[in-house]
């Protein structure tokens, strides 16, 4: 039986809208995986060192038969195919793909933590996640609505994505 997972997508280099669109296509082609829903896109301030371009962020819901570690490997392969270089932590990147939630599982290994450890601290994750799964609760039973209530709208703008893939603010 497939597991429902939520993935965070972000980009602030090399035409971020194009990077996000390509990532969505690649995620939809993952084996034993179905893209269920994509949240509206947001533009957010960069989290990390130095002056960086703003990010384009979104969240998707998928149903997958891939186990969490296999899903992580597949997502990292997509990042590499789109030019991701892991040089500076929280530095600029062509593409960042994170597993935010996987079914109702909690996992804490050196390489993978589910739920994502900073999920509740990041408005660019909480806002789009709430757009597509407002009734969601985390594995510890924390309602997403509680994270949303504590989420600052500062530094983030919701973008309207048109059917043709263009966007307007």
Tokens 């799964």 belong to 133
Burial status of residue 7 (CB atoms within 10 A of its CB: 0-12, 13-18, 19 or more) = buried
Question: 18, 63, 86, 96: which is the annotated catalytic residue?
Answer: 96
Question: 93, 110, 131, 146: which is the annotated catalytic residue?
Answer: 93
Burial status of residue 159 (CB atoms within 10 A of its CB: 0-12, 13-18, 19 or more) = middle
CA 139 to chain centre: 18
Q: Distance between CA atoms of 96 and 90, rounded to whole angstroms? A: 10
| Residue 122 is a catalytic residue | no
| Residue 110 is a catalytic residue | no
Cis peptide before 16 (omega within 30 of 0): no
| Residue 96 is a catalytic residue | yes
| Residue 118 is a catalytic residue | no
Question: 84, 131, 140, 146: which is the annotated catalytic residue?
Answer: 84
Q: Distance between CA atoms of 153 and 143, rounded to whole angstroms? A: 19
Q: With residue 81 as reference, give the H or E element that holds it.
A: helix 68-81
Question: 54, 98, 158, 167: which is the annotated catalytic residue?
Answer: 98
Q: Is the dihedral of CA 124, 126, 128, 129 positive or negative?
A: positive
Catalytic residues: 84, 93, 96, 98
């Amino acid at each position: 039986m497939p597991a429902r997972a939520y993935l965070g997508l972000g980009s602030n280099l090399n035409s971020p809208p194009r990077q996000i669109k390509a990532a969505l296509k690649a995620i939809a082609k993952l084996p034993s995986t179905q893209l269920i829903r994509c949240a509206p896109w947001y533009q957010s301030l960069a989290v990390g060192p130095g002056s960086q371009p703003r990010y384009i962020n979104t969240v998707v819901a998928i149903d997958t038969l891939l186990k969490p570690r296999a899903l992580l490997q597949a997502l990292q392969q997509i990042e590499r195919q789109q030019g991701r270089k892991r040089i500076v932590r929280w530095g600029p990147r062509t593409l960042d793909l994170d597993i935010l939630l996987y079914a109702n599982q909690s996992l804490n290994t050196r390489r993978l933590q589910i739920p994502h450890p900073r999920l509740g601290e990041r408005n660019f994750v909480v806002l789009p996640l709430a757009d597509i799964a407002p009734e969601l609760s985390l594995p510890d039973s924390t309602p997403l609505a509680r994270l949303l209530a504590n989420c600052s709208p500062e530094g983030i703008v919701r973008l309207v994505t048109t059917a043709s893939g263009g966007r307007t603010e």
